[in-house]
Structure 1
Amino acid sequence: MEPPHNDTSKPDPGRRRPWVVGISGASGTPYAASVLRGLLAAGEAVDLIVSRASRLTLMDETGIAFRDAHWRTDLREWLALGADGKPETYPVTDERLADVRYWPAGDLAAGPSSGSYPVKGMLIVPASTACVAGVALGLSKDLLQRVASVTLKERRRLVVTVRETPLNGPTLKHLVALDEAGAVVLPASPAFYAGATHIQDLVDFVAGRVLDAAEVPHGLYRRWEGELRGGSKGEAPEAS
C-alpha cells in the first residue's frame, strides 16, 4: 500500500538544520565572533543565544551593547571587529546574516528548547565555569543551558569551549561529567605551531579547533603537517 501524499515519516533534505551557538559570560568574545564567521563562511545556518552575563562581557571587551530589538545590527558590528578591536576588519553583509536566527536567553519556549527542533548540534563559545556547572548538573536555568541539556539527551554534538584558569576541583569534575555525557570539552588554549604573528591568529586557532570538532570545513589556521617550519614569520594576516 502506498503511503499518503502528506506522509512526513522521512526526513526532509531541504529542511533548515542550524548549529546553535551559545555565548556565555566568560571572557573571550573574539573566539565566538571567529566561530560565527567560520560557520557563516561555510554556508551553515546558525541559531544564536547570547546569555545575559555575556552581554556585559561583550560590552567590556568590545564596547558593543547587544540588544534584543537590534540584534542583527549589533551582531554585524561585532562580527566586523578584529580580535585587536579594529572595526570593519571583517565586513559582514546582510546576505551572510540571512540564515541567522536569534533567541533571547530568557525564552524557554524557543525552538531549540525542544528535542523535536532540528539542529546539527551546539557550540558553547566561550563557556564560563558557571555555564559548565549548569549544563553538567542539568539546571536549565536559561535557554543556553536548556539547549545544551537537549543536545546531550538527543545525542547531538555538543562542544564546550571552557575559558577559565586556573580550574578548581568542582569545575574539573563538571568537565569530566560533560565528557562522560558525550560532550567535547575544548579549552580555549591557543597553539603557536601554526605560525601565529598576530592576536587574530591565536583566536582563529581556537575557533578552528571548535569547527574541527563540529566537522565544519574552514581555513582558519595552518595545520600541522609533520615538518618543522622555523618559527613564526611574516606579516599580520589581512582581513578576508
Structure 2
Amino acid sequence: MGITGASGTPYAAAVLRGLLDAGEAVDLVVSRAARLPLLDETGLTFREARWHMDVKEFIGRDVGDMRVWKENDFTAGPASGSYPTRGMIVVPATTAAVAGIATGMSKDLIQRAADVTLKERRMLVLVVRETPLRRVTLQQMADLSGEGAVVLPASPGFYAGSHDVRQMTDFVAGKVLDVVGVPHTLYTRWRGQLGAARAEEAAAGA
C-alpha cells in the first residue's frame, strides 16, 4: 500500500485498519509529500525511525503484520516482481502519482511497486482524490484501466446511511476492500429497499 501527497489521509487510515482487521499482512510506503497532508489533516507526524508508534497513532490500533519501506529504497521487496504480493493499493493517489505510474517513470518506490504490480498482472487500485480533472489525467486513468488497474475515485455514497465524516470515509475504504476481496463491515450494503440503512441504524441504537 502506498500513501501519496493528496488530501485524504483518513481514507488511508481506514483502509489500513480494514486490512489489518482482516488479518492481512501489509507492506507500506509513505511518500515524503504525504507527510504534509498527514500532519495537516490528522495532526500526526510520520518518521521512519519510529514508524511503529506513528502508524499505531495514525490508525488507532496495533500495527499487526506490517512492514514499512522508505520511498527511495529501490532494493525493497515490493520493487521486485519476485516479491509475493496480492496486489497494491495507492490511497490517496495524487494525479502526479497517476501520471508517473501510467508512463512507467518509477521515480520512487510507490511508482515502481505499482509498475511491478501491473507487469505481474496483479491487482492495482488507485484511489484518486482530486477534482476537477484535466483531460490528460482522464486519459492516463483510462490507459491504466486498460492495463487492468482499478481507478476508484474517493467518492463516498450516501445510500448506506452515512451522515458523518467517519462513515463516509469508511464507505470509500470499504469499496477499496471490496475490490481486493478483503471482508469487512465498514458500511451497510444496499438491499434494494429505500431507507433500510437508517432503519437498521435506528434499531441498533434502540
So what's the TM-score if we normalise by structure 1? 0.82
Verify: 1:38 aligned to 2:4, yes or no.
no
> Which SS does the other structure have where 1:222 is aligned?
coil
> Which SS does the other structure have where 1:161 is aligned?
strand
**Cα distance in 2 between the residues matched to 1:133 and 1:211:** 24
Match of 1:180 among 139, 143, 146: 146
Match of 2:71 among 98, 105, 108: 105
> Which SS does the other structure have where 2:185 is aligned?
coil
Could you tell me how far 1:178 is from its partner in structure 2? 0.6
> Which SS does the other structure have where 2:91 is aligned?
strand
Q: 1:229/1:98 Cα in 2 relative to 1: closer, same or farther (>3 Å)?
A: closer
Listed as ranges, the matches of 1:22-101 within 5 Å are 22-80=2-60, 92-93=61-62, 97-101=63-67
> Which SS does the other structure have where 1:207 is aligned?
helix
Deviations 1:175-221 (A, max 9, x none): 00110111001000000000012211100000000000001100000
Partner of 1:226: 192
Partner of 1:189: 155
8 Å Cα contact 1:66/1:74 also seen in 2: yes
Q: 1:169/1:218 Cα in 2 relative to 1: closer, same or farther (>3 Å)?
A: same
**Cα distance in 1 between the residues matched to 2:167 and 2:196:** 17
- Structure 2 residue runs of 5 or longer lacking an equivalent are none
Listed as ranges, the matches of 1:180-219 within 5 Å are 180-219=146-185
Verify: 1:162 aligned to 2:128, yes or no.
yes
Verify: 1:121 aligned to 2:87, yes or no.
yes
**Cα distance in 2 between the residues matched to 1:214 and 1:29:** 19
**Higher Cα Rg, which structure:** 1
- Structure 1 residue runs of 5 or longer lacking an equivalent are 1-20, 81-91
Overall identity of the aligned pairs, in %? 59
**Runs of 4+ residues over 2 Å off in structure 1:** 230-235
**Cα distance in 2 between the residues matched to 1:44 and 1:149:** 22
8 Å Cα contact 1:52/1:105 also seen in 2: yes
**Cα distance in 2 between the residues matched to 1:36 and 1:72:** 13
> Which SS does the other structure have where 2:127 is aligned?
strand
| Letter paired with 2:35 | R
**Cα distance in 1 between the residues matched to 2:32 and 2:140:** 22
8 Å Cα contact 2:20/2:64 also seen in 1: no
**Cα distance in 2 between the residues matched to 1:224 and 1:190:** 14
Q: 1:126/1:66 Cα in 2 relative to 1: closer, same or farther (>3 Å)?
A: same
**Cα distance in 2 between the residues matched to 1:118 and 1:38:** 20
| Letter paired with 2:5 | G
**Cα distance in 2 between the residues matched to 1:135 and 1:197:** 34
Deviations 1:125-149 (A, max 9, x none): 1101000000001000000000000
| Letter paired with 2:126 | V
| Farther-moved stretch of structure 1 (223-232 vs 163-172) | 223-232
So what's the TM-score if we normalise by structure 2? 0.95
**Cα distance in 1 between the residues matched to 2:187 and 2:166:** 10
8 Å Cα contact 1:197/1:232 also seen in 2: no
